[in-house]
C-alpha cells in the first residue's frame, strides 16, 4: 500500500510540473503585442532620421528585488536600461526614424578624440589633419524607470483528495516607463509618454500527506516548480512600447509627420 502511494505521488508530481501555464484559470505572460507595430510604423515624412541624443535612462524607483525571508540588496530592475532605449531608437520603424549620437560615454569619447589630436600633432606638427567635428543632436530623449509595483495582484487555487493534490499560486508586478523628447534649441519638452508592462510569476506544486500505523507514522512529499517572467525583458518591451508611443505623440502634436502611403 505504501509503495502504491509513493508511485501515485510521483505520477501526480510529473503531471503537475508538466502543466505549468496550461491551466485556463491561471494568468499567462502577455506577449509583446506592440512588436509588430514597432517594426511596421510608417517612416517620417522628411525622409531622413531625426538625430537624437540619450544621456541617461536610470532606475528611479529605488525598488529592491522582493524577498520574503531576508533583506535583498539586489535591485528589482536593470541599471543599464539606456542600452535598451538606444537600441529601440535605432531599430524602430526599420531604422528610419532616429539616428542616435553617443552621449552616455561622452567623456571617454572626448578623451579619445584628444588623444588622436595629440598624436597627430606629435607626428605631423602644424600640418596635422584636424578631426571631423562631432555630430550634434537637435533633440534629447530623456526619462527612466519611474515605477515598480510588486504583487499588485496575487492569488491561487488548490485541491486535495485523500491527502494528495496540486496547488497553484501566481502574482503580478508592474513596471512603469516614462519617456520625453526635449528640444535642444529651446529646452522645451516636446512630447511625454508613460508606458506600463505587467510581469507575471507562477508556481505549481503537488503535495502528498499520508498517515500509517493508526496515525503514528506519516509520509509527506512535496514537489513543484516556479516560473518568473524575466524583469529585464519586461523593461525592454516597455521601452520599445514607449518609443512607439512617443512617435505617435509627436505626430499628434505636429513635431513630425508620417510618410503618406502611395495610392495608385
What are the pLDDT digits (tens) for 80-103?
889 999 999 999 988 899 999 999
Q: Is the pLDDT of residue 196 over 80?
A: yes
> How large is the average pLDDT for residues 118-125?
86
Residue 33 belongs to a domain? no
> How large is the average pLDDT for residues 112-129?
87
Residues near 133 by Cβ (< 8 Å), separated by ≥ 6?
Answer: none
Residue 138 belongs to a domain? yes
Q: Taking a C-beta distance cutoff of 8 angstroms, is the pair 205, 175 a contact?
A: no
Residue 52 belongs to a domain? yes
Q: Taking a C-beta distance cutoff of 8 angstroms, is the pair 25, 112 a contact?
A: no
Residue 262 belongs to a domain? no
The CATH number covering residue 218 comes to: 3.40.50.10610
Which range, 65-74, 88-97, 154-163, has the best average confidence (pLDDT)? 88-97
Place 210 in a pLDDT band, splitting at 50, 70 and 90: confident
Residues near 169 by Cβ (< 8 Å), separated by ≥ 6?
Answer: 154, 155, 156, 202, 203
Residue 9 belongs to a domain? yes
Q: Is the pLDDT of residue 47 over 50?
A: yes
Residue 191 belongs to a domain? yes
Residue 168, domain extent: 2-18+47-252
Q: What is the C-alpha separation between 13 and 224, in angstroms, rounded?
A: 7
Q: Taking a C-beta distance cutoff of 8 angstroms, is the pair 217, 5 a contact?
A: no
> How large is the average pLDDT for residues 208-221?
74
3 state SS of 242: helix
Q: What is the C-alpha separation between 175 and 177, in angstroms, rounded?
A: 7
- Select the more confidently predicted residue: 203 or 214: 203
- As for how many domains the chain has, the answer is 1
Residue 30 belongs to a domain? no
Q: What is the dihedral of CA 87, 88, 92, 95, to 10 degrees?
A: -20
Residue 115 belongs to a domain? yes
pTM of the predicted protein model: 0.76
Nearest alpha carbon to residue 177 among 128, 141, 221: 141
Amino acid at each position: 500500500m505504501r509503495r502504491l502511494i509513493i508511485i501515485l505521488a510521483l505520477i501526480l508530481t510529473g503531471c503537475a510540473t508538466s502543466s505549468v501555464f496550461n491551466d485556463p484559470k491561471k494568468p499567462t505572460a502577455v506577449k509583446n503585442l506592440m512588436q509588430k507595430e514597432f517594426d511596421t510604423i510608417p517612416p517620417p515624412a522628411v525622409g531622413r532620421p531625426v538625430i537624437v541624443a540619450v544621456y541617461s535612462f536610470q532606475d528611479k524607483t529605488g525598488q529592491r528585488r522582493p524577498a520574503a525571508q531576508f533583506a535583498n540588496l539586489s535591485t528589482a530592475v536593470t541599471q543599464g536600461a539606456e542600452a535598451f532605449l538606444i537600441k529601440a531608437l535605432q531599430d524602430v520603424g526599420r531604422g528610419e526614424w532616429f539616428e542616435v549620437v553617443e552621449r552616455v560615454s561622452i567623456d571617454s569619447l572626448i578623451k579619445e578624440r584628444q588623444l588622436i589630436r595629440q598624436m597627430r600633432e606629435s607626428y605631423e606638427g602644424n600640418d596635422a589633419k584636424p578631426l571631423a567635428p562631432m555630430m550634434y543632436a537637435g533633440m534629447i530623449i530623456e526619462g527612466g524607470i519611474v515605477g515598480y509595483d510588486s504583487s499588485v495582484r496575487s492569488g491561487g487555487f488548490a485541491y486535495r483528495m485523500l491527502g494528495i493534490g496540486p496547488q497553484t499560486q501566481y502574482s503580478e508586478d508592474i513596471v512603469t516607463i516614462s519617456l520625453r523628447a526635449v528640444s535642444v534649441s529651446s529646452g522645451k519638452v516636446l512630447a511625454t509618454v508613460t508606458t506600463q508592462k505587467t510581469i507575471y510569476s507562477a508556481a505549481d506544486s503537488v503535495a502528498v500527506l499520508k498517515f500509517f500505523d493508526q496515525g503514528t507514522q506519516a509520509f509527506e512529499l512535496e514537489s513543484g516548480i516556479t516560473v518568473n517572467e524575466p524583469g529585464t525583458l519586461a523593461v525592454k518591451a516597455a521601452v520599445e512600447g514607449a518609443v512607439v508611443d512617443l512617435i505617435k505623440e509627436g505626430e499628434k502634436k505636429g513635431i513630425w509627420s508620417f510618410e503618406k502611403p502611395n495610392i495608385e
